[in-house]
Amino acid sequence: MDNKTKINTLIQSLPKGSVLLPAWLKSQGYSYELQQSYRKSGWLKSIGKGAMLKSGDTLVLAGALSALQSVEKCDIHIGGRSALEMQGFAHYLQINSQEITLFVRGRVKLPRWFTDNDWNAQTTIFRLTVFANEALGMTDFTEGELTMKISTPARAMVECLVLCPDKFSLTEAFELMEGLGSLRPAKVQELLESCKLIKAKRLFLYFAEKANHTWFKYLDINKIDLGVGNRSLVESGVFVPKYKLVLPKELA
Protein backbone atom coordinates (compact mmCIF):
# COMPACT_ATOMS: atom_id res chain seq x y z
CA MET A 1 0.00 0.00 0.00
CA ASP A 2 1.50 3.36 -1.00
CA ASN A 3 1.60 6.33 1.35
CA LYS A 4 -1.31 8.15 -0.30
CA THR A 5 -3.50 5.08 -0.07
CA LYS A 6 -2.53 4.63 3.60
CA ILE A 7 -3.47 8.18 4.54
CA ASN A 8 -6.75 7.92 2.63
CA THR A 9 -7.54 4.74 4.53
CA LEU A 10 -6.79 6.54 7.80
CA ILE A 11 -8.89 9.58 6.96
CA GLN A 12 -11.88 7.53 5.86
CA SER A 13 -11.79 5.12 8.81
CA LEU A 14 -11.61 7.60 11.70
CA PRO A 15 -14.53 9.66 13.05
CA LYS A 16 -14.55 13.37 12.27
CA GLY A 17 -12.85 15.29 15.07
CA SER A 18 -10.64 12.40 16.23
CA VAL A 19 -7.46 13.47 18.00
CA LEU A 20 -4.54 11.42 16.67
CA LEU A 21 -1.62 10.63 18.96
CA PRO A 22 1.78 9.70 17.46
CA ALA A 23 2.28 6.52 19.49
CA TRP A 24 -1.15 5.22 18.49
CA LEU A 25 -0.54 6.04 14.84
CA LYS A 26 2.78 4.18 14.99
CA SER A 27 1.02 1.14 16.47
CA GLN A 28 -1.31 1.23 13.46
CA GLY A 29 1.59 1.11 11.01
CA TYR A 30 2.23 4.83 10.48
CA SER A 31 5.85 5.49 11.35
CA TYR A 32 6.96 8.79 12.87
CA GLU A 33 8.65 9.66 9.57
CA LEU A 34 5.42 8.97 7.69
CA GLN A 35 3.45 11.08 10.17
CA GLN A 36 5.86 13.96 9.63
CA SER A 37 5.45 13.58 5.89
CA TYR A 38 1.65 13.72 6.24
CA ARG A 39 1.93 16.91 8.30
CA LYS A 40 4.22 18.55 5.73
CA SER A 41 1.88 17.61 2.91
CA GLY A 42 -1.16 18.93 4.78
CA TRP A 43 -2.98 15.65 5.39
CA LEU A 44 -2.56 16.03 9.14
CA LYS A 45 -2.22 19.18 11.27
CA SER A 46 -0.55 19.57 14.66
CA ILE A 47 -2.67 20.88 17.55
CA GLY A 48 0.25 20.91 20.00
CA LYS A 49 3.14 18.68 20.89
CA GLY A 50 2.02 15.06 20.67
CA ALA A 51 -1.37 15.44 18.99
CA MET A 52 -2.82 15.94 15.52
CA LEU A 53 -6.10 16.27 13.67
CA LYS A 54 -7.02 15.28 10.16
CA SER A 55 -6.81 18.31 7.89
CA GLY A 56 -10.20 20.04 7.80
CA ASP A 57 -11.38 18.72 11.16
CA THR A 58 -12.13 21.15 13.99
CA LEU A 59 -11.31 20.94 17.67
CA VAL A 60 -14.11 19.18 19.54
CA LEU A 61 -14.00 18.14 23.17
CA ALA A 62 -15.34 14.65 22.44
CA GLY A 63 -12.33 13.99 20.19
CA ALA A 64 -9.92 15.02 22.92
CA LEU A 65 -11.66 13.01 25.65
CA SER A 66 -11.94 9.92 23.45
CA ALA A 67 -8.18 10.01 22.79
CA LEU A 68 -7.29 10.68 26.43
CA GLN A 69 -9.49 7.85 27.67
CA SER A 70 -8.84 5.17 25.07
CA VAL A 71 -5.20 5.82 24.14
CA GLU A 72 -3.66 7.63 27.11
CA LYS A 73 -5.78 5.70 29.66
CA CYS A 74 -6.30 9.02 31.43
CA ASP A 75 -8.92 9.28 34.21
CA ILE A 76 -10.89 12.24 32.86
CA HIS A 77 -14.57 12.38 31.98
CA ILE A 78 -17.64 14.58 31.72
CA GLY A 79 -19.66 14.31 34.92
CA GLY A 80 -22.02 16.14 37.25
CA ARG A 81 -24.79 18.25 35.76
CA SER A 82 -23.23 18.12 32.28
CA ALA A 83 -23.51 14.32 32.19
CA LEU A 84 -27.10 14.47 33.43
CA GLU A 85 -28.00 17.02 30.75
CA MET A 86 -26.38 14.99 28.00
CA GLN A 87 -28.46 11.93 28.99
CA GLY A 88 -31.74 13.82 29.13
CA PHE A 89 -32.09 14.17 32.89
CA ALA A 90 -31.97 17.96 32.76
CA HIS A 91 -32.23 20.54 29.99
CA TYR A 92 -30.35 18.91 27.12
CA LEU A 93 -26.92 20.32 26.45
CA GLN A 94 -24.92 19.86 23.27
CA ILE A 95 -21.40 19.03 24.33
CA ASN A 96 -19.77 22.05 22.74
CA SER A 97 -22.41 24.69 23.43
CA GLN A 98 -21.92 25.69 27.07
CA GLU A 99 -19.78 25.11 30.11
CA ILE A 100 -18.81 21.46 30.50
CA THR A 101 -17.93 19.95 33.87
CA LEU A 102 -14.92 17.64 33.75
CA PHE A 103 -13.71 15.41 36.55
CA VAL A 104 -10.08 14.34 36.76
CA ARG A 105 -8.82 11.90 39.34
CA GLY A 106 -6.48 13.44 41.91
CA ARG A 107 -3.02 14.14 40.55
CA VAL A 108 -3.54 12.95 36.97
CA LYS A 109 -1.41 15.14 34.70
CA LEU A 110 -3.13 16.37 31.58
CA PRO A 111 -1.02 16.84 28.42
CA ARG A 112 -0.29 20.33 27.15
CA TRP A 113 -2.03 19.66 23.83
CA PHE A 114 -5.23 19.31 25.85
CA THR A 115 -4.82 22.16 28.34
CA ASP A 116 -3.54 24.64 25.74
CA ASN A 117 -6.56 24.28 23.43
CA ASP A 118 -10.08 25.52 24.12
CA TRP A 119 -11.92 22.68 22.27
CA ASN A 120 -14.73 25.01 21.28
CA ALA A 121 -16.11 24.61 24.80
CA GLN A 122 -15.89 26.35 28.15
CA THR A 123 -14.72 23.71 30.61
CA THR A 124 -14.45 23.57 34.38
CA ILE A 125 -12.13 20.90 35.74
CA PHE A 126 -12.51 19.41 39.21
CA ARG A 127 -9.63 17.34 40.52
CA LEU A 128 -11.27 14.90 42.88
CA THR A 129 -11.05 11.26 43.83
CA VAL A 130 -14.65 10.46 44.67
CA PHE A 131 -14.78 6.66 44.61
CA ALA A 132 -12.56 3.90 45.89
CA ASN A 133 -13.19 2.24 42.53
CA GLU A 134 -13.08 5.08 39.99
CA ALA A 135 -14.19 2.76 37.17
CA LEU A 136 -17.70 2.50 38.62
CA GLY A 137 -20.63 4.33 37.10
CA MET A 138 -19.26 5.09 33.64
CA THR A 139 -21.12 4.69 30.35
CA ASP A 140 -20.33 5.13 26.65
CA PHE A 141 -21.81 8.25 25.08
CA THR A 142 -21.75 9.11 21.38
CA GLU A 143 -21.49 12.73 20.24
CA GLY A 144 -21.55 13.06 16.47
CA GLU A 145 -19.20 10.33 15.21
CA LEU A 146 -17.18 10.13 18.44
CA THR A 147 -17.63 7.94 21.50
CA MET A 148 -16.34 8.70 24.98
CA LYS A 149 -17.08 7.63 28.53
CA ILE A 150 -19.16 9.90 30.77
CA SER A 151 -20.78 9.47 34.18
CA THR A 152 -24.01 7.49 34.43
CA PRO A 153 -26.92 9.43 35.95
CA ALA A 154 -26.34 7.91 39.40
CA ARG A 155 -22.65 8.74 39.43
CA ALA A 156 -23.29 12.20 37.99
CA MET A 157 -25.73 12.87 40.82
CA VAL A 158 -23.11 11.90 43.39
CA GLU A 159 -20.64 14.24 41.67
CA CYS A 160 -23.11 17.13 41.90
CA LEU A 161 -23.53 16.48 45.62
CA VAL A 162 -19.77 16.36 46.16
CA LEU A 163 -19.67 19.97 44.94
CA CYS A 164 -22.50 21.13 47.24
CA PRO A 165 -22.95 23.70 48.64
CA ASP A 166 -19.99 25.88 47.63
CA LYS A 167 -19.78 24.99 43.93
CA PHE A 168 -23.24 23.59 43.28
CA SER A 169 -26.65 24.63 44.58
CA LEU A 170 -28.33 22.32 47.06
CA THR A 171 -31.73 23.31 45.69
CA GLU A 172 -30.69 22.51 42.13
CA ALA A 173 -29.21 19.20 43.30
CA PHE A 174 -32.54 18.19 44.84
CA GLU A 175 -34.40 19.20 41.68
CA LEU A 176 -32.08 16.98 39.67
CA MET A 177 -32.58 14.10 42.11
CA GLU A 178 -36.36 14.42 41.67
CA GLY A 179 -35.91 13.45 38.02
CA LEU A 180 -33.99 10.26 38.76
CA GLY A 181 -36.88 7.91 39.40
CA SER A 182 -35.53 5.20 37.09
CA LEU A 183 -32.18 4.50 38.76
CA ARG A 184 -31.24 0.86 39.39
CA PRO A 185 -30.86 0.26 43.15
CA ALA A 186 -28.05 -2.28 42.74
CA LYS A 187 -25.94 0.28 40.84
CA VAL A 188 -26.75 3.01 43.35
CA GLN A 189 -25.79 0.69 46.20
CA GLU A 190 -22.46 -0.12 44.57
CA LEU A 191 -21.65 3.55 43.99
CA LEU A 192 -22.56 4.67 47.50
CA GLU A 193 -20.53 1.87 49.09
CA SER A 194 -17.53 2.96 47.02
CA CYS A 195 -18.02 6.71 47.55
CA LYS A 196 -15.40 8.30 49.82
CA LEU A 197 -17.27 11.48 50.76
CA ILE A 198 -19.64 11.23 53.72
CA LYS A 199 -21.47 14.47 52.90
CA ALA A 200 -22.31 13.33 49.38
CA LYS A 201 -23.62 9.96 50.54
CA ARG A 202 -25.84 11.47 53.23
CA LEU A 203 -27.24 14.05 50.81
CA PHE A 204 -27.86 11.42 48.15
CA LEU A 205 -29.86 9.22 50.52
CA TYR A 206 -31.76 12.12 52.08
CA PHE A 207 -32.72 13.62 48.71
CA ALA A 208 -33.70 10.21 47.31
CA GLU A 209 -35.93 9.50 50.31
CA LYS A 210 -37.41 13.01 50.18
CA ALA A 211 -38.16 12.56 46.47
CA ASN A 212 -39.97 9.31 47.38
CA HIS A 213 -38.23 7.24 44.70
CA THR A 214 -39.35 3.63 44.67
CA TRP A 215 -35.77 2.34 44.28
CA PHE A 216 -34.77 3.90 47.60
CA LYS A 217 -36.45 1.15 49.64
CA TYR A 218 -34.23 -1.48 48.00
CA LEU A 219 -31.02 0.10 49.29
CA ASP A 220 -29.22 -1.44 52.25
CA ILE A 221 -28.17 1.68 54.13
CA ASN A 222 -26.42 -0.41 56.80
CA LYS A 223 -23.76 -1.32 54.23
CA ILE A 224 -23.03 2.33 53.41
CA ASP A 225 -20.52 4.13 55.62
CA LEU A 226 -22.20 7.37 56.65
CA GLY A 227 -19.54 8.39 59.16
CA VAL A 228 -20.18 10.06 62.51
CA GLY A 229 -20.89 13.60 63.62
CA ASN A 230 -23.02 16.31 62.07
CA ARG A 231 -22.45 17.95 58.70
CA SER A 232 -23.55 21.59 58.57
CA LEU A 233 -24.03 22.78 54.97
CA VAL A 234 -25.59 26.17 55.74
CA GLU A 235 -25.62 28.64 58.59
CA SER A 236 -28.81 28.87 60.64
CA GLY A 237 -30.29 25.87 58.84
CA VAL A 238 -32.56 23.06 60.02
CA PHE A 239 -31.12 19.86 61.49
CA VAL A 240 -32.16 16.57 59.87
CA PRO A 241 -31.53 13.97 62.62
CA LYS A 242 -31.65 10.79 60.49
CA TYR A 243 -28.80 11.94 58.27
CA LYS A 244 -27.16 14.38 60.71
CA LEU A 245 -27.30 17.21 58.17
CA VAL A 246 -27.96 20.91 58.66
CA LEU A 247 -29.79 22.05 55.54
CA PRO A 248 -31.69 25.10 54.28
CA LYS A 249 -35.19 25.36 55.70
CA GLU A 250 -36.80 24.81 52.30
CA LEU A 251 -35.05 21.43 51.91
CA ALA A 252 -35.39 20.12 55.47
Q: Give residue-wise pLDDT tens across range 214-230.
A: 999 999 999 999 999 99
d(CA 36, CA 214): 58
Q: What is the pLDDT of residues 4-63, one digit of tens each?
A: 778 888 888 899 999 999 999 999 999 999 999 999 999 999 999 999 999 999 999 999
Which tops the pLDDT comparison, 3 or 153? 153
Confidence of residue 81 (pLDDT cuts 50, 70, 90): very high
For residue 7, what pLDDT is reported?
A: 81
Among the listed residues 92, 84, 78, the one whose alpha carbon sits nearest the alpha carbon of residue 172: 84
pTM: predicted TM-score of the whole model, two decimal places = 0.93
Range with lowest mean pLDDT among 17-21, 102-106, 198-202: 102-106
Q: Mean pLDDT, to the nearest integer, of 59-81?
A: 96
d(CA 82, CA 89): 10
d(CA 81, CA 97): 14
The burial class, CB within 10 Å (0-12 / 13-18 / 19+), for 55 is middle
Confidence of residue 1 (pLDDT cuts 50, 70, 90): low
d(CA 30, CA 11): 13
